Structure 1
């Protein structure tokens, strides 16, 4: 039997483990749920790292029962995980407190304090200090939990904590490290200046590697537990979005994807470091050597339609279908999708959503269309600020649950004025990207030869007949945000 490779994707709701062969074909997969995050106070989001570990073991144990022969042939493992989470460890690697997650907003004041303390912070990090990043969370702990802060020996991101338990190594890949606000992203190295703002040093940080490089080996106890043999290499891996890019093959400059998941992302790979902090663009290292990537991130994409479904007592798919049935072009209603605040381009955790233009004719189908258009305009905002950074976007593939709506994809293609490719059904998520990185680390294969794009089911072209109408509607959409924010203050 030929070699196999294992990808492990650590999410807040659970862990997925995926086996592939040397040609990247799926051999088997398993999932295990994790205990959901807790919210001790409004705006907080925390999770016990032990829950990720239990779910990781459970998922791989399932594979050992369903695919014992393939699992026994594993030669490389890759890790993917949710970014930005602050996992604080003491001197004996004990967890000091629950992990503060990516969607925790408690550290807004600390973000402002960090930027005031180091005026060059944005230039060094290539990103704005946002509450979602790791460093402001540590600044919050330093201020509000000084007894915990004093005991910090290491700060790890979620997947690095799983790596520690699997291998005994403190290591992080560059794509995930770029989301901490401690990395000089252009130089692809920790920044002593950025670390000093939170009172930390390189000694508190894990060793850095590229995502496709080896980071350590699986402990012998787990080699025996899962029936493996020999040295099993663990790759650097990737943060969840970079891992998804590896899974869908978006690793070359100009290639990217638009993700219509709970949140929304326009992701594009770059050959150089191209920050645009004024537009709240995320500029990170890719998991591939000498490649960077940018992201425009919106916090409520498909989740906006989920919210409307809850409000109307309907299913999201039914609302999208009703909107498609009655669609004749931009409607009178406009929706601002800032239900959970917004990152790109506003960097405003306190932004809030709104419907404008309601009338007696408004019904759930028209509200659904407005929601889909509002999210589409948020993607158009992301494209605008990416272009401001000099970014070239040659090709976008659509992923995520919202990509099942043909109308939504037509809206996005028309507003971005570019074709959107929809892959054939398959798993192109973080677990596949992680497995591909594990393959590269174990075999030395070139990422360009492994991380190919999937077969395309269809290509959605812009509707030229609606281009001007949508340009006019987008102008009205852009004018609403400052007016509503002024009214709220």
Structure 2
């Protein structure tokens, strides 16, 4: 048996698979996000441990024998979070999360230093880790002075699991401190934020062993002490391992809290001007590119809260047949946007509202707005040198066939729906745990699931969607002009 632990923004998932990669069981622990000020987003790392304990306790309650047979553990986690520890590994302040935009001034200052784009292959986004440390130095100098280690969220879980300060390439690529082409920390970039390599965890590949399970936890859970914990991956790279998106040209579209258009690459293809993320993949000597939308299903969840209707009920009102855009347009910039705008200050908007604009019209506009944001990412990937011929849909939002039809038509690409199964980040983490424990060939393990169905672009509505997309694109500079 192999255990995958995925630390998300809203919860932790623990997934058990057997040596044939069949899912045996899962457990879950919930998490909340604190937003003490506009643009802030934080979590207490102690809550990650509590949620992990809850998830594993659920597994132990229903699958005690299978849990006892675990031979390897893999980790996945939300990226970019700044978890600050003192010399005794005590947490100094709540973790500043990936969707926190307070450090936009510091991000712009670091990005103006050409070394950052040259060495990392990326814009320094406000959500990345390095500008958060610059913000702490500028605004909480007493805390900054005590920082002995900076860990990403999943690597704080690793510290609890193993007692080791270790990270891996895919997650570390999102800090703005990694030389992404050479897959190592950059002393030069760390120095630019008044840090050095002593503040960083050591680095391994995602498939490698990165610590061993502590005896105290092993005894509590009924697992053999000392089993390997894999390097693991950032959440999107872990999802790619779960989906088998590891070969050049393979891609997925993820409809989660945030949205991701992910493409695997066999070589390092940076193009920071496109606002595409170019990161190391979890497998050795591979990379990937991503277009990132900060509010994907979060946009629909926002509308759900405003209207008092469940998200599934909102999309259900649209039926199964794709409709032409109504003229109501939604910009999904509820917490700023990354690809292609790199704009933490922009905010969302509805335009084209009229007396006849119903709740269903607003829902349709939200789904289309997110689909058009993915089209922005597709165009940015093309600019960065990656051309896609089809994508596979994952994430909670992919349960809506209507939404997938809108995405296929907006992208003008077939969207594959995988056969029933759990192929997300926790599954990818479990696969990495299997590889680290057994030494198996990563490409033989990280295969793609069977395709259950394919949604083709609606040719009859292609022109209407193309026109609506051009209108969507014209709105960003207009809205920015009145909100900047």
Q: Could you state the TM-score of these two structures normalised by the residue count of structure 2?
A: 0.96
Whole-Å separation in 1 of the counterparts to 2:439 and 2:432: 10
**1:150 matches 2:155:** no
Q: 1:50 to 1:310 in 2, by over 3 A?
A: closer
For 1:293, what is the secondary structure of its paired residue? strand
Q: CA-to-partner distance for each residue in 1:101-124, whole Å, 9 max, x for gaps?
A: 1111111111122233x3221121
Mapped pair 1:87 → 2:87? no
Matching residue of 2:397 = 402
Give SS of 1:39's match. coil
C-alpha contact (below 8 Å) 2:41/2:100 kept by paired residues: yes
Structure 2 vs 1, CA of residues 32 and 430 (structure 1 numbering), >3 Å: closer, same or farther? same
| Structure 2 gap segments, 5+ residues each | none
C-alpha contact 2:322 2:405 (8 A) present in aligned 1: no
User: In the TM superposition, what is the alpha-carbon distance from 1:346 to its structure 2 partner?
Assistant: 0.7
Report the aligned-residue RMSD. Answer: 1.6
Alignment match, 2:28: 31
| Divergent runs of 4+, >3 A | 324-328
2:107–2:125 Cα contact (<8 Å) kept: yes
Q: Residues 72-471 of structure 1: matches in 2 within 5 Å?
A: 72-116=68-112, 118-229=113-224, 231-324=226-319, 327-471=322-466
- Partners of 1:339 and 1:65 in 2: how far apart? 40
Question: Contact 1:6/1:438 (CA < 8 Å) preserved in 2?
Answer: yes
Instruction: Supply the distance in 2 between the matched residues of 1:162 and 1:352 (Cα, whole angstroms).
Output: 33
State the match for 1:52 in structure 2.
48
Query: Which residue matches 1:15?
Result: 12
Segment of structure 1 superposing worse, 313-322 or 423-432: 313-322
Q: Mind listing any 5+ residue stretches in structure 1 that lack a counterpart?
A: none
Once the 2 structures are TM-superposed, how far is the Cα of residue 46 of structure 1 from its aligned partner? 1.6
Superposed CA deviations along residues 411-441 of structure 1, whole A, max 9, x for unmatched, are 2112212110011222122111111000000
Aligned with 1:9: secondary structure? strand
The alpha carbon displacement at 1:207 in A equals 0.7
Which 10-residue stretch deviates more, 391-400 or 376-385? 391-400
CA–CA separation in structure 2 for the residues paired with 1:139 and 1:158: 18
Task: Give the number of equivalent residue pairs.
Answer: 484
Secondary structure at 1:19 match in 2: strand
The whole-number CA distance in structure 2 between the counterparts of 1:254 and 1:21 is 29
2:38 aligns to what? 42
Contact kept, 8 Å, 2:346 with 2:483, in 1: the verdict is no
Give, in angstroms, the shift of residue 392 of structure 1: 2.8
TM-superposed deviation, 1:310: 2.8
Using the alignment, how far apart are the partners of 2:481 and 2:36 within structure 1? 31
